[in-house]
Chains A and B, each alone.
Chain A
């Protein structure tokens, strides 16, 4: 299968801190790649670096054979990469509707139809359509953040801990949605919920102390008790 995103040996500084010190992984078309690792390992920073929010100082990031390392964030987004940040990034003073509106690049029928589809996924949002984003419950915010990213058909979606704060039944729905979307969209997922990660992930990358320490197919990891114990504390 074709490689859609190829991250190689990236180093990222935030201020004077050397946060990423050699993260490499690739995401293949139509697959779900999961980034795993402890708190503070650098998973979020990896996603941010891909989005151009914390630009890498070294290494390469190829998306569809184009080097996007030096591109500004909005260009990266416009080449077809969607992003669900870990802190949800909800515009607190804008209503749910307005939050969606900001995210929509155009308001043609196709987009509106897709919005309907997304809202069916998270019916709560429809109920609170005119409510301020800041007044949503934690889980509702998480839903809104995903809905915003899903409203366009992206080539690649970067999703940072989608299951956090969601009720079990909603997690299930999200998993279904991701599985559904996989057909057309490649997904990079950061997830602490191993059950979820193992169920929908195709391959994994283990990050520790800002560097890739292991990568492979998810089914291998599920069986590899040693790795799980060493880096994930489970098994």
Chain B
């Protein structure tokens, strides 16, 4: 099967620093792949290159065989590449509901409609309400986004991504700072999406238990380079990964879960 996303020699340099270096990677459709790597390895930057937030210095990105390297982030989002952000990135002075509703509106392709009153779009509201429920934010619909606690903002971030309902989901540390008891709920959401079987998910995480639980495959970035891409077992047994990324904590981590 044709990979849904493919990169060739994807490279970006910031000044003298190469944050992503000649990455050749293929993402099989309808799978979940996790990306791990030390801090500053270039994971987020790689996402930014896929979603178009950043422009590659070299190399190409293909989506379903089409070269999308020169497309804007807007165009890519419309094409079906949706993403969540590592550093919470919402509309601070709008309510939770409004934040989600905007994403739903985009999914429904209501972009330049200028005369209809927005509340006419009942459907949008209902869908937004539903998604807020999915990420356990019910009761907070009318809270202003900037007044949410950190974990709540993370959930909102996920709701907005889900609302876009894109073919590809790029999740950047979705559960960072989320409370222990709620991580499983979000995991369930991701699992549920995965089970429907029509979505492709790329996940950046540092929580190994979660990664092992979810991933079909794992790729490892190191200093901007693609170090390995393989099944969870392969990766966990990779020595470099163990020494430079996991350290000792991971054993206990696994033991706990």
Within 8 A of A (CB), among B157-212: 173, 176-182, 184, 206, 208
**When the two chains form their complex, are residues B40 and A161 in contact, meaning their CB atoms are under 8 A apart?**
no
**When the two chains form their complex, are residues B206 and A165 in contact, meaning their CB atoms are under 8 A apart?**
yes
Residues of B within 8 A of A (CB): 14, 17, 37-41, 43-45, 86-87, 147-152, 155, 173, 176-182, 184, 206, 208, 244-250, 252-253, 256
User: How many residues of A are in contact with the other chain, CB < 8 A?
Assistant: 40
A135 within 8 Å of B by Cβ? yes
A117 within 8 Å of B by Cβ? no
Q: Given A165-B173, A169-B247, A171-B249: A39 and B206 within 8 A (CB)?
A: no
**When the two chains form their complex, are residues A167 and B44 in contact, meaning their CB atoms are under 8 A apart?**
no
Partner of A194 from B147, B173, B176, B180 at Cβ < 8 Å: B180
Q: Given A40-B151, A44-B149, A234-B181: A137 and B246 within 8 A (CB)?
A: no
A233 within 8 Å of B by Cβ? yes
**When the two chains form their complex, are residues B180 and A138 in contact, meaning their CB atoms are under 8 A apart?**
no
Chain A: CB-nearest residue to B252: A195
Per the bound structure, the CA–CA distance linking A165 and B37 in Å amounts to 11
Q: How far is the CB of A204 from chain B (nearest CB, A)?
A: 13
Per the bound structure, the CA–CA distance linking A14 and B17 in Å amounts to 43
Per the bound structure, the CA–CA distance linking A172 and B248 in Å amounts to 8
Q: Given A135-B14, A137-B44: A168 and B206 within 8 A (CB)?
A: yes
**When the two chains form their complex, are residues A161 and B150 in contact, meaning their CB atoms are under 8 A apart?**
yes
Q: Given A40-B151, A44-B150: A170 and B38 within 8 A (CB)?
A: yes
8 extra interface residue pairs, beta carbon distance < 8 Å, beyond A40-B151, A124-B40, A142-B39: A40-B152, A131-B17, A138-B87, A165-B177, A167-B206, A168-B250, A195-B252, A233-B182
Per the bound structure, the CA–CA distance linking A141 and B149 in Å amounts to 19
**When the two chains form their complex, are residues A192 and B179 in contact, meaning their CB atoms are under 8 A apart?**
yes
**When the two chains form their complex, are residues B177 and A232 in contact, meaning their CB atoms are under 8 A apart?**
no
Q: Can you give 20 A-B contacts (C-beta < 8 A)? A: A17-B147, A39-B150, A40-B148, A40-B149, A40-B151, A86-B177, A137-B41, A140-B40, A165-B176, A165-B206, A166-B206, A168-B253, A169-B244, A169-B246, A171-B249, A172-B249, A192-B151, A192-B177, A195-B252, A231-B181
**When the two chains form their complex, are residues B256 and A232 in contact, meaning their CB atoms are under 8 A apart?**
no
Per the bound structure, the CA–CA distance linking A135 and B48 in Å amounts to 13
Chain A: CB-nearest residue to B253: A195
Q: How far is the CB of B177 from chain A (nearest CB, A)?
A: 5
**When the two chains form their complex, are residues B245 and A38 in contact, meaning their CB atoms are under 8 A apart?**
no
Instruction: Chain B residues near A172: list those with CB within 8 A.
Output: 247-249
Partner of B181 from A38, A128, A139, A168 at Cβ < 8 Å: A38
**When the two chains form their complex, are residues B178 and A39 in contact, meaning their CB atoms are under 8 A apart?**
yes
Chain B: CB-nearest residue to A234: B180
A82 within 8 Å of B by Cβ? no
Per the bound structure, the CA–CA distance linking A87 and B89 in Å amounts to 12
Q: How far is the CB of A118 from chain B (nearest CB, A)?
A: 16
Q: How far is the CB of A167 from chain B (nearest CB, A)?
A: 5
Q: Given A138-B173, A192-B178: A233 and B245 within 8 A (CB)?
A: no
Partner of B247 from A41, A168, A234 at Cβ < 8 Å: A168
Instruction: Chain A residues near B245: list those with CB within 8 A.
Output: 167-169
**When the two chains form their complex, are residues B44 and A138 in contact, meaning their CB atoms are under 8 A apart?**
yes
Chain A: CB-nearest residue to B154: A39
Q: Given A172-B249, A233-B180, A234-B181: A167 and B39 within 8 A (CB)?
A: yes
**When the two chains form their complex, are residues A86 and B44 in contact, meaning their CB atoms are under 8 A apart?**
no
Per the bound structure, the CA–CA distance linking A171 and B181 in Å amounts to 21
Within 8 A of B (CB), among A53-69: none
Per the bound structure, the CA–CA distance linking A33 and B124 in Å amounts to 45
Per the bound structure, the CA–CA distance linking A90 and B101 in Å amounts to 30
**When the two chains form their complex, are residues A87 and B150 in contact, meaning their CB atoms are under 8 A apart?**
yes
Instruction: Chain B residues near A233: list those with CB within 8 A.
Output: 179-182, 184
**When the two chains form their complex, are residues B151 and A39 in contact, meaning their CB atoms are under 8 A apart?**
yes
Per the bound structure, the CA–CA distance linking A195 and B250 in Å amounts to 11
A187 within 8 Å of B by Cβ? no
Per the bound structure, the CA–CA distance linking A140 and B37 in Å amounts to 13
